[in-house]
């Protein structure tokens, strides 16, 4: 009799253990808000692997036990089973790789607006920033403009400002100023040490051929090259330097510099912001969930003219006498 009671109790406990399992749908992303493709959920002694659909997945777990969610190349995350709710986002920290340096979200996540401003300045001001993701960074900044402007106003002690247009205008002014300052530093660098750069040896961050390409571009387009170059990776790094080397009039350079920087920042920033809003409202398509594809598309579009010139244009021998800066 006692054995029968014990068996019945064990059966009841087993049923209770099975029924304690719950199912919920969650979304698993990394700190860059990119979907995680596959995860492993450990609850108690059991581990189950799942494939996600753009980060979305339905998991089974024991709400009375801790739940550990892990993924390849990501740090695992432990949560209380009771804390998991339907539709919640779980963020796993992706391990750093060198490829992250060309991911615009890397700079937004770890540096925010202030690192963004430095990158825009460095692309031309330090003439070694041609590898930085300027165009795609600004487009992504437009998508996350609310977050960036909120950070700005909080840092300035003006956290109560929640106006979309004020936030966008503030970002436009600050980023444009960073670009204008970077170009100006590049221009004065060209006037002071530019001719000597034609004798520099190629290194990791400096390639003499880029300097010649920028010089040819400037010769072809004149002052408007400063405006056009803002939209072309690599070329925009060296265009203001070449303008200084050939002694472009300071007032003329300042005019084209302001026009080019404002036009570049306005087009990229506002395109990211309003395209995200319009596409989401009209088609229910969230650009934030497809940033990798968007960034790749921007890189292809912006670098295509440069690549076409590199591979399909007739190669010219670089001038043997570097251009001299007029006194």
Mean pLDDT of 193-201: 75
Place of tokens 């004798």: 199
Cα 298 to Cα 316: distance, rounded to the nearest angstrom: 29
Helix 235-245 to helix 250-283 angle, to the nearest 10 degrees?
A: 170
List the structure tokens of 153. Answer: 């106003």
Residue 12 binned pLDDT confidence (cut-offs 50, 70, 90)? low
CA dist., res. 138 & res. 190, Å (int): 26
CA distance 181 to 177: 6
Residue 241 has what pLDDT? 82
Question: Which fold does the domain 21-92 belong to in CATH?
Answer: Immunoglobulin-like (2.60.40)
pLDDT of residue 130: 58
DSSP 1-59: -HHHHHHHHHHHHHHHHHHT-EEEEEEEEETTSPBPSEEEEEETTEEEEEE-BTTEEEE
pLDDT (0 to 100) of residue 16: 47
Contact in structure between 112 and 151 (CB atoms under 8 Å): yes
- Say whether pLDDT at 126 is over 80: no
Find the mean pLDDT for residues 59-65.
88
Q: Give the pairing type, strands 22-30 and 89-92.
A: parallel
pLDDT of residue 158: 83
pLDDT of residue 327: 46
Q: pLDDT tens digits, residue range 245-288?
A: 877 788 889 999 999 999 999 999 999 899 888 988 888 777 77
In this predicted structure, what is the pLDDT of residue 18? 47
- Higher pLDDT among residues 9 and 189, named by residue: 189
Residue 305 has pLDDT above 80, yes or no: no
Could you tell me if 72 and 144 are in contact, meaning their C-beta atoms sit under 8 angstroms apart? no
Structure tokens at 214: 């920028």
Q: Cα(180)–Cα(177) distance, rounded to whole angstroms? A: 5
Instruction: Return d(Cα 37, Cα 300) in angstroms, integer.
Output: 25
**Residues ≥6 apart with Cβ < 8 Å to 177:** none
Does the pLDDT at position 198 exceed 70? Answer: yes
Q: What's the distance, Cα to Cα, between the start and end of the chain in Å?
A: 110
The residue assigned the tokens 């001001």 is 125
CA 83 to CA 43: how far, in whole Å? 13
**Which of residues 130 and 202 earns the better pLDDT score?**
202
Contact indicator for 176, 265 with CB cutoff of 8 Å:
yes
pLDDT averaged over the chain?
A: 81
Helix, strand, coil % (nearest 5) of the chain? 60, 15, 25
Which pLDDT score, from 0 to 100, does residue 293 have? 74
pTM of the model: 0.75
Among 80-89, 208-217, 270-279, name the one with the lowest average pLDDT: 208-217
Domain ranges of the chain: 21-92, 98-312
What is the mean pLDDT of the segment spanning 25-44?
90
Report the length, in residues, of the chain: 327
| Whole-number CA gyration radius for the chain | 27
């Amino acid at each position: 009799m006692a054995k029968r009671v014990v068996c019945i109790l064990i059966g009841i406990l087993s049923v209770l253990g099975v029924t304690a399992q719950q199912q919920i749908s969650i979304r698993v992303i990394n700190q860059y808000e990119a979907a995680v493709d596959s995860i492993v959920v450990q609850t108690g002694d059991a581990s189950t692997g799942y494939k996600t659909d753009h980060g979305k997945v339905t998991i089974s777990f024991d709400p009375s036990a801790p739940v550990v969610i892990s993924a390849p190349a990501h740090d695992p995350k432990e949560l209380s089973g009771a804390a998991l709710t339907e539709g919640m986002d779980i963020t796993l920290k992706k391990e750093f790789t060198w490829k992250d340096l060309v991911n615009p979200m890397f700079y937004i996540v770890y540096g925010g607006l202030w690192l963004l401003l430095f990158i825009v300045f460095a692309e031309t001001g330090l003439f070694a920033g041609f590898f930085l993701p300027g165009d795609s960074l600004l487009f992504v900044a437009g998508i996350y403009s609310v977050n960036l402007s909120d950070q700005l106003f909080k840092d300035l002690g003006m956290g109560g400002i929640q106006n979309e247009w004020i936030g966008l205008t503030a970002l436009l002014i600050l980023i444009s100023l960073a670009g204008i300052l970077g170009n100006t530093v590049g221009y004065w660098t060209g006037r002071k040490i530019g001719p000597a750069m034609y004798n520099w040896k190629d290194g990791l961050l400096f390639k003499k051929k880029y300097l010649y390409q920028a010089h040819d571009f400037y010769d072809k387009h004149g002052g408007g090259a400063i405006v056009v170059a803002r939209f072309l990776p690599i070329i925009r790094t060296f265009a203001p330097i070449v303008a200084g080397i050939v002694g472009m009039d300071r007032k003329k350079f300042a005019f084209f510099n302001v026009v080019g920087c404002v036009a570049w920042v306005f087009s990229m920033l506002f395109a990211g912001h309003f395209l995200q809003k319009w596409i989401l409202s009209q088609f229910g398509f969230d650009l934030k969930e497809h940033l990798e594809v968007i960034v790749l598309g921007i890189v292809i579009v912006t670098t295509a003219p440069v690549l076409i010139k590199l591979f399909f244009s007739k190669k010219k021998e670089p001038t043997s006498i570097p251009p001299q800066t007029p006194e």
